[in-house]
Amino acid sequence: MGSTNFAALNISDYEISPEQGFLPQDPLGDLPDSPTLNDLGHELPKLLSARTVRRFIDKQRHLLPSIPSTWHMEEYRAAMRILSFCGHAYVWEVPDQPVATLPPQLAKPWHEVAQRLGRPPVLSYASYALDNWRRLDKTKPIQLDNIVLLQNFLGGLDEEWFVVVHIQIEREAGRGLAGLLRAMRGAAEDNEGAVLLGLKSLALAQTAMRDTLLRMKERCDPYVYYNRVRPYIHGWKNSPSLPNGLAYEGVESYAGQPQQFRGETGAQSSIVPCLDAGLGIAHAPDPLTLYLQEMRDYMPPRHRSFIEVLEKTTDDLDRPLLAGYVRDRKLRNPDLWAAYEACVNLLSQFREIHIGYADSYIHRQHQAHASNPTAVGTGGTPFMQYLQKHLDETKQALVQ
């Protein structure tokens, strides 16, 4: 029965909770004893709109003189958020004229903090969304009318809404992941009732996630997103305007060699890989599957580990545990199959909505310069044909 001991498996060991999904507890807004970096984070939208980010950073001897030994994970995450936004603002301050070298006062602390977190020194989804929110009213839950961003590039409604929609979806996924785990544990223990309850809980969460995603266009306009939000989240791998990558001055381990890292993208969220793994959705190898595997390097390490645990969980016939269990009972227990079918269909709907957004927010926009291409995502890969293929493969899981 696979390699997973379900009795001992606890999602809290993977920095996940039923209440908040992959979101941490309320992230830190400011860093202790780091006035220069805090001020830079606060002023970044104004400096960026005036195109004086590079000038400001170049004048500083230190952004973060040293990393205190008393720091905990929340301090590292807050530092990574501010440094990542500042790093991208420095590179893309003039979007069609990026710089290819970061100064040491930015590159060195960014690299050091990234090393502590097990991620590359580039803006990733964890810093852009998971660690980038606060509640307006701390007595009320994480929901769209009560969360705002801690850090922006330019600010404005469209940028804010684009990210908080993702944050809300991450929160809604929490009870779904708990339901998925309950269903998988039920399959491991041959408890059909637990499988059914787990799948129903997952479907409720997926419905909420889908309905939140459908709200994206309420306050995030495709033209504004493409021209005012997207330019700053690109990375420097497969980048037409930074073909050699980015040099991190003063980082000894890079030995003066430019580095190539992918840009921030929702493909670095752990939700869909967990659902694919748990529901037994298989994707035949293609450029997108290779890219999605690479995206795991940008996730928090424990989230990455949780996906791997789900993927390794198989039955005695080496099939995905939950899908095999439900399929074997398709005729004998049609309610079980219907519940599984509902979860797969909801995942298909989520992918379908995403394809529509990729088309309208990126593919159909007018490309003005090579630094913001319409043919590839912010991670640097062609996306439209492969997104459709992954949607087709999700639907295929129900007809095998």
> For residue 8, is pLDDT > 90?
no
Q: Specify the DSSP class assigned to residue 91.
A: H
From CA 284, how far away is CA 252, in angstroms rounded?
A: 40
340 and 199 in contact (C-beta within 8 Å)?
yes
What is the domain partition of the chain in residue ranges? Answer: 11-396
Q: Specify the DSSP class assigned to residue 376.
A: B
To the nearest whole percent, how much of the chain has pLDDT over 90? Answer: 87
255 Cβ contact partners less than 8 Å away, ≥ 6 residues apart: none
What mean pLDDT comes out for the span 105-113? 98
The H or E element that residue 216 is part of is helix 216-219
283 Cβ contact partners less than 8 Å away, ≥ 6 residues apart: 276, 289, 389, 390, 393
Q: Tell me how far the alpha carbon of residue 259 is from its chain's centroid.
A: 21
Q: Per residue in 252-302, pLDDT tens?
A: 999 999 999 999 999 999 999 999 999 999 999 988 899 999 999 999 999
What mean pLDDT comes out for the span 70-89? 97
Q: Per residue in 83-99, pLDDT tens?
A: 999 999 999 999 999 99
What mean pLDDT comes out for the span 97-106? 98
Q: Which amino acid is at 242?
A: L
> For residue 3, is pLDDT > 60?
no
Left if phi > 0, otherwise alpha if psi is -120 to 50, otherwise beta: which for 253? alpha
Q: Specify the CATH class of 11-396 in words.
A: mainly alpha
From CA 381, how far away is CA 358, in angstroms rounded?
A: 12
Q: Per residue in 142-201, pLDDT tens?
A: 999 999 999 999 999 999 999 999 999 999 999 999 999 999 999 999 999 999 999 999
CA 248 → CA 94, 100, 101, 241, 259, distances in Å?
19, 9, 6, 17, 8
Q: Per residue in 187-206, pLDDT tens?
A: 999 999 999 999 999 999 99
Binned at pLDDT 50, 70 and 90, residue 1 comes out as very low
**Average pLDDT in the chain:** 95
Binned at pLDDT 50, 70 and 90, residue 305 comes out as very high
